[in-house]
Amino acid sequence: MAICTVATMHAVVHQRHPLHHVRPPRRRVRLIRATAGAAAKTSSWEADTLSKAFWDYNVLFRSQRAETSDPVQLRVIEGAIPPDFPAGTYYLAGPGMFSDDHGSTVHPLDGHGYLRSFRFSPDHGVRYSARYVETAAKAEEKRGASWRFTHRGPFSVLQGGQRVGNVKVMKNVANTSVLWWGGKLLCLWEGGTPYELDPRTLRTVGPFDLLGLADRAAGRRWSGRCRPWLQEAALDVATRLLRPVLSGVFSMPPKRLLAHYKVDPKRNRLLMVACNAEDMLLPRANFTFYEFDASFALVQKREFVLPAHLMIHDWAFTDSHYIVLGNRIKLDIPGSMLAMTGTHPMIAALALDPSKQTTPVYLLPRSTEAVASGRDWSVPVEAPAQMWSMHVGNAFEEDNGRGGTDIRLHMSGCSYQWFHFHRMFGYNWKNKKLDPSFMNAPKGKEWLPRLVQVAIELDKRGASQICSVRRLSDQWTKPADFPAINPSFANKRNRFIYAGAASGSRRLLPYFPFDTVVKVDVANGSTRWWSSEGRKFVGEPVFIPTRGGEDHGYVLLVEYAVSEDKCHLVVLDARKIGKRSALVVKLEVPKHLTFPMGFHGFWADE
């Protein structure tokens, strides 16, 4: 039986790369499934390979203390920047600080926001800058050159500092996504006010009270409040009791602004959505959708109350609807009691609810015509597959020629069995380590993140007639996430989807981190892909359009060369993905500025 303890892996890793925070857990972790008749003793080759896998995984989430406000010229190490590449800036948000100087290591989702920018200009090539977002939590947790975590964050617990009774949970780290809109550069987090930064220097300007701005403008703009007719009085009472506790004790804002936003290119609008703080604990979900014009003036605000306990990360929109795919959750009473003590993460108060074998799809009226249709939007369309929705690439609607409407969603989803609140990225809150075996344990193909199409047919009264879920391509059954499209095709029929994916060629890290960009032709299901070579991994792809057809443009991504401890900015020709000539240019970030894996990015055209 080929097994290896993480302690063995760490012993080799620590000799080669003495990182203070890469300490393995004491428990044994099986990175290779045992096979009948295999030798019980791990060979030296296997031990060395396993140690590299452990190192490769953990180095992707290594803290980076260095910043550079003065732009650094990036060196081209392969190819050349194409002459038709547009001038603009690629901003990438993500966590940068995971381990403090007092023994605490937090979950990647609780890591302090670290914003990177790659500025393309015709005369100067590509210049790189990186700075931490100066949030209120960072101001408290970093004094001089020393870091000491005082906020545990929703997904973590602290090993150093105050643990028992620590109510500092809502640690707005502004690390999830970045947006350039209305002349403002904003970093967003899944539960707090966005932070504004200077687009040139990345200096933090301060919190940007977007929801306050919207609420003040709502009096002179149209606002619609849509609710089911029946509301349980007990939930209203619970809401009144919970709000002062959540806001006064745990400093949670009354409304949580989701980190995922949408841009409607047809109307030149920014769409955002917020949830109420108490939604996490009650079987009722409040969604407030905001639409802003190019100057951040509020154009529309609509509020919906759904009789379901849901957790939402991403969402979609069409001309007539806001679309919410409901991830069903429930309150974990024993876990919530432990979470209140500070010895368990706050996320322990919640558990997944896989009791139904369908996925609820809520079609919430965006247009006045959809409101007037009289359809009971509080009743979801039940998609015939249980799926935890992750990220949406595109959604659109079309007249089906029979008086009704066809709605299509292109998105990524995984199974409830694969998704795990406490173990995302392999983080183990009990020993504060990242375990690559969790994300790479052998699982069924339908468990892993996959690209799917959800198709809904509505009749002329808006009632659902047919709903189906299928893979976007039967040719690609490997894990994939972070779907992206040509942004000019948002909210209308698109042919191509690009996504981060796993090639499956790495024996010990077959599923995650990703090492491939896959291009799916939605029209015929064909796939082409580009994969990194050696011990290298890739982040989220972003499409940069040029003049021409839907796939005329470039795919931009960051490659993490863990074997070299370096990051590369990679540009692929979208039309040549699948060919040897797909890679157009690769640029190298200086080694001392190598940064941890990012979450979501944004291309800002100049």
10-residue averages of pLDDT along the chain (606 residues): 33 34 37 35 57 84 92 97 96 95 91 97 92 96 93 86 72 96 96 94 95 75 55 54 50 81 96 84 86 95 91 95 94 85 85 94 92 85 94 96 92 92 84 83 82 94 88 94 96 97 90 96 96 94 94 97 94 97 97 95 94
Q: Where are the alpha helices (DSSP H) in 454-599?
A: none
Q: What is the pLDDT of residue 180?
A: 97
Q: What is the pLDDT of residue 453?
A: 97
Which token pair is 56? 């490769």
225 contacts: CB under 8 Å, gap ≥ 6: 302, 303
Find out whether 153 and 110 touch, Cβ atoms under 8 Å.
yes
Q: What is the pLDDT of residue 605?
A: 92
212 backbone dihedrals φ, ψ, rounded to 5°: -65, -40
| E strand or H helix at 501 | strand 496-501
**Could you give the CA distance from residue 177 to residue 158 in angstroms, rounded to a whole number?**
25
459 contacts: CB under 8 Å, gap ≥ 6: 402, 403, 404, 465
Q: What is the pLDDT of residue 284?
A: 81
CA dihedral 171, 392, 274, 236 (to 10 degrees): -110
Q: Which SS3 state, helix, strand or coil, does residue 564 take? A: coil
Rounded to 5°, the CA angle 530-534-538 comes to 50
The overall longest dimension of the chain from CA atoms, in Å, is 75
| Residue 313, annotated as binding a ligand | yes
Q: What is the pLDDT of residue 165?
A: 67
Integer CA distances (angstroms), 32 to 13, 380, 446, in order = 18, 42, 21
CA dihedral 330, 335, 341, 346 (to 10 degrees): -50
| Residue 420, annotated as binding a ligand | no
Q: What is the pLDDT of residue 446?
A: 78
Find out whether 67 and 134 touch, Cβ atoms under 8 Å.
no
Q: What is the pLDDT of residue 239?
A: 55
Q: What is the pLDDT of residue 371?
A: 82
**Could you give the CA distance from residue 565 to residue 536 in angstroms, rounded to a whole number?**
10
Q: What is the pLDDT of residue 40?
A: 39
Find out whether 420 and 427 touch, Cβ atoms under 8 Å.
no
Q: What is the pLDDT of residue 28?
A: 33
| Residue 151, annotated as binding a ligand | no
Q: What is the pLDDT of residue 42?
A: 47
